[in-house]
Amino acid sequence: MKNDIVKLDGIDKKILKMLMENSRRPILEIAKNIGISGAAIHQRLRKLEKQNLIIGSSIKVNTKILGYTTMAFIGIFLDRATNNKTVVNELKEIKEILECHYTTGDWSVLAKLICKDNEDLMEILTKKIQTIKGVARTETYISLEQQINRQITL
């Protein structure tokens, strides 16, 4: 389903930029910075949420502090394209998978996952992913370092 394009004015962009930098920034701080009331900020945020431009807020967790040191991308080849939904439903049950994309190209599915180490990755691959019915084979790429991590620029 295609979303309607939302037109943003300068104030909306300023609000969004500040919240994208820090989603926990107080509304009154934003209001003071922009020069409008806190109530006006709230109204604009509610409007943007209603238009589905804002779909949530989050806190970033440093996964290395929790012992997850290996990030990998798994290209998943399916034996049949019609197995996509079934395979993805199984992948949803694997807590280490952070993202899953239906793709063009060689793979049917590209999954991003975080693991404690390479042994943990091998265990997840061989016992959880490659055993899913419909998975023909996988290709694994280990991330050595994330060099860019950003949102869209407004």
- The whole-number average pLDDT for the span 37-49 is 96
Range of lowest pLDDT (78-82, 114-118, 137-141): 78-82
The enclosing H or E element of 93 equals none
pLDDT value for 92:
98
**Torsion on CA atoms 106, 90, 124, 149, rounded to nearest 10:** 60
Average pLDDT, the chain: 94
CA distance 109 to 101: 6
Domain 10-50 belongs in CATH node 1.10.10.10: yes
Residue 102 clears pLDDT 70, i.e. is over it: yes
The listed CATH number (3.30.70.260, 3.40.50.10420, 2.60.40.1180, 3.30.70.920) that belongs to domain 70-143: 3.30.70.920
Structural domain boundaries in the chain:
10-50, 70-143
**How many other C-beta atoms can be found within 10 angstroms of the C-beta atom of residue 138?**
17
Q: How confident is the model at residue 1 (pLDDT cuts 50, 70, 90)?
A: very low
